[in-house]
Chain A
Amino acid sequence: MNSYKSLFRKDIWTLKNYILEIKNDKKRLIIYLLYIFWIGSILIDGFSKLNRNKSEMITSIGSEYIAALITFIGIVILMYNLYKGLNESSTFFSMGDVNVLFQSPISSKKILLYHMVKQSLINFFVYGIVILALLPTIGNIVNIEIRYIGFMYLGYISFLLLIEPLKFLMFTLITKYKIQNFLSKMIYSLLGLIIVYIIYHLVKAEDLLKGIIKAMNAYYINYIPIIGWAKSAFMTAIYGYSSWSLIALILQFTLLALLVFISYNTANDYYEDVLSATNKRELRKKRKKGLKKRKNFFLFTKKGKVNVKSKRKGPWAFMWRAKVYYKRTDIHPYFSILTIFSLIVGLTVGYFTRNTEGIIPMYIANGVIAYIMFLMSSVYVSNHELTKPYIYLIPGTYIEKIIAMNLVDIIRMTVNAFMLNIALGLTIKASLVTIISLGLFLTSFYILTVFANFLVRIIFPNTIDHKTLFPLFFMLQILLMLIPGAIIGGIVATLTNALGFFIGVTVTNFIIVAILILLSSNIFERLEWK
């Protein structure tokens, strides 16, 4: 049978099985519909805002900021992937492909071409969700011409579609022609050039923000492949159409086709190269599902022996284990790279808002971080300990287990929350009460997201639900847990001031957490090790 036909047939079976699975489990259909409604609401909201008039000054400044941000993010993503591509290929395969397909008498070139095209088509639609989600925000800042929205979408997508084939081809060339040293020198030189270029503009502009915007928006950036071409197409919906918009877009997709073509003709012995990347992708999936612990910043990973003293026994062994883990993979058991990041964010936000009256920047910073924490908790679930047998087997009370299991993480987050608020609070001269209240607000929010993990395990014990629907279930659940805090915080804020809202939310969160701890015996009795 034709190789492409059999590969296509395999994917059709997979698709059919997905549909059958949804058909056999109506609950899942509801959730998928919710996803569609969510995307639909974003679209409706986005498009309804596009035609609203904004002042010319706002749209002019806004478009400059957006253009600069796109270039900056593009450079960061590209350089990061080029750097990663020096040591690791990208993958378009699953572990099933590795074990079943790779050994079969189907040409490795055909396998590669088929999977590259398939992945590009999937990504074409999947990555689009991000730009759809961002559309209302962009529409609030600038006027978007609806008829050129296709350029915006294709510009953004073309950039993302190019990254993986580029990384794959780079690694293939490295292994085939042994040019790792040459390419790493090229990449470091390019990085150096970019840094010098930005510094030159910073010095010239004598202002941090203006300098970066000027550097990122220089006209010649538009002619740089991948980043500039994508930006030109993307900005068409904001700046308006020019013949270059179309040329840039055509060039982007021609480059993509060229990369796939060169990969097809170069890669004939790539199986080993993609093994490690495929394994890592599987691991990432497991981390997302909470089956594996997230990796910390690689620079701090220590391979040798680490010493952590422990005197307490029983369930408190979990605390010792967590400390060993963080001591091995981070700066300190209680201080992480996020602590440094919190300090930098606190000082930077404080510096730029030092002349603002009141403590609104603190509210905004804490609100944004709580929001990010909420979003992240739905993507990365931290219940990996529940997937191991020890929590169920080690003798001890459930309250002890639940606290011991999470205490180190909670302390780490408390340190980060206070680091941010102390740095920011001292810079903008906030009161001690404000600093403590907001530090506790973030901590309480984190603890609530941690405890939500236990609940979700009981409410949705089915592992199939976990895999596909976990993020949505989890977000809904947290929303339900947050509603009491929001209501009480709102009432307190009405009676007192804005800080009252945060205090109200914090107190409510801690009450909910206390109730959950008291109910921990009931929670654990319903938990199963799967």
Chain B
Amino acid sequence: MLKVNNLNKMFKKTMAVDGISFTLNKGDVVGLLGPNGAGKSTTMKMIAGLLRKDCGDIKIDGINNNLLKAKSKFTYVPEVPELYEMLTVKEHLHFIADAYNVDNWEEKAIKLFKRYDLYDKQDKLAKELSKGMKQKVSICCGLLPEPELYLFDEPMIGLDPKAIRETKLIFKELSDQGKTIFVSTHLLDSIENLCHRVLVMKNGRIIADGDVKSLKNKLSNGKGSLEELFLEVTKDE
């Protein structure tokens, strides 16, 4: 579903992403972990086409990620939920439905509003919402088009426990439907039982790639949590 090959990105003199390659298959739920400044968000933004790649390839279902055909196959939920201040919650979803040609969007939107406790806030302007509410709207915008690939950059930040649980449930449902999810996060415990596989980035490189169990076995004989595993692989040598 997603194929990243030898991806590079440099900001002035800093190598933000340094020749990373990986493939995500249909139905995969893959976590992207790494300390601050590892290059996770840059990778996500390059896949979403918001940042230019210096070199390398990004293919979504075999199509170059910048082509319109590829763009209709994925959605991206950014780290900071910046919305249109003067649009209501419902209008945001209406606009997304227009842009992605979503059928029966109102029905789907109402289901999402109910799951994320936004039903009574549909007519509120984005600027009147709290940060957590904005994040919920941003997630709903990402879920509405029901694409093949979902890119989430720190989706749990700012969410209340119910919304976090709901997001995890949705991830499971999507995975069962054969959709691919690529999620970058710091909240390790929230993805431990969710991701089939994790990629760990550090200094722009992928330093570990595999399913949680095999990585645990490899590094600590299967003992310890994902957090301990993360600290182990990202510690400075």
Contacts and interface: CB of A to CB of B under 8 A. Distances in A.
A126 interface: no
A148 B101 CA distance: 49
Contact of A14 (B50, B52, B86): B86
Given A269-B66, A272-B52, A100 B92 contact: yes
Nearest to A2: B98
A6 B50 contact: no
B25 to A, nearest CB: 22
Contacts of B49: 102-103, 271
B95 A98 contact: no
Interface in B153-198: none
Interface string A5-18: 11001100110011
Interface stretch (A33-41, A64-72, A104-112, A453-461): A104-112
Given A6-B99, A17-B87, A275-B50, A98 B82 contact: yes
Contact of B84 (A94, A102, A103): A94
B85 interface: yes
Given A96-B85, A98-B82, A1 B101 contact: yes
Contacts of B96: 100, 104
B83 A96 contact: yes
B18 interface: no
Interface stretch (B67-75, B107-115, B209-217, B229-237): B67-75
Given A17-B125, A18-B86, A272-B52, A99 B99 contact: no
A103 B92 contact: no
A483 interface: no
Contacts of A269: 52, 66
B81 interface: yes
B86 A104 contact: no
Contacts of B52: 175, 269, 271-272
B142 to A, nearest CB: 9
A95 interface: yes
A406 to B, nearest CB: 30
B41 interface: no
A273 to B, nearest CB: 8
A101 interface: yes
Contacts of B34: none
B95 A6 contact: yes
A175 B95 CA distance: 31
B203 to A, nearest CB: 21
A103 to B, nearest CB: 5
Contact of A105 (B51, B68, B82, B91): B68
Contacts, number: 91
Interface size class of A (residues with CB under 8 A): 20 to 34
Contacts of A272: 50-52
Nearest to B147: A105
Contacts of A104: 71, 96, 99-100
Given A103-B75, A269-B52, A96 B82 contact: yes
A105 B80 contact: no
B138 interface: yes
Contacts of B88: 13, 17
B129 to A, nearest CB: 13
Contact of B87 (A13, A103, A175, A275): A13
Contacts of A5: 98
B204 interface: no
B48 interface: yes
Given A99-B80, A269-B66, A9 B98 contact: yes
A96 B50 contact: no
Q: Which of A1, A94, A272 has the most CB of B within 10 A?
A: A272
Contacts of B82: 95-96, 98-99
Q: Which of A5, A6, A104 has the most CB of B within 10 A?
A: A104
B39 interface: no
Contacts of A106: 68, 99
A17 B98 CA distance: 19
Nearest to B75: A103
Q: Which of A105, A269, A272 has the most CB of B within 10 A?
A: A105
B141 interface: yes
Contact of A17 (B66, B83, B86): B86
A103 B48 contact: yes
Interface string A245-259: 000000000000000
A10 B84 contact: yes
Contacts of B72: 105
Interface of B: 48-52, 66, 68-69, 71-72, 74-76, 78, 80-88, 91-92, 94-96, 98-101, 125-127, 138, 141
- Which 7 A-B pairs rank lowest in CB-CB distance, beginning with the nearest? A6-B98, A96-B84, A95-B82, A105-B71, A105-B72, A104-B99, A14-B86
14 contacts: A1-B99, A6-B95, A10-B91, A10-B98, A13-B87, A13-B88, A13-B91, A13-B94, A14-B84, A96-B84, A97-B84, A100-B92, A101-B99, A104-B100
Given A9-B95, A13-B86, A271-B52, 10 more contacts: A6-B98, A13-B88, A14-B84, A14-B87, A18-B86, A98-B82, A99-B82, A102-B48, A103-B74, A105-B71
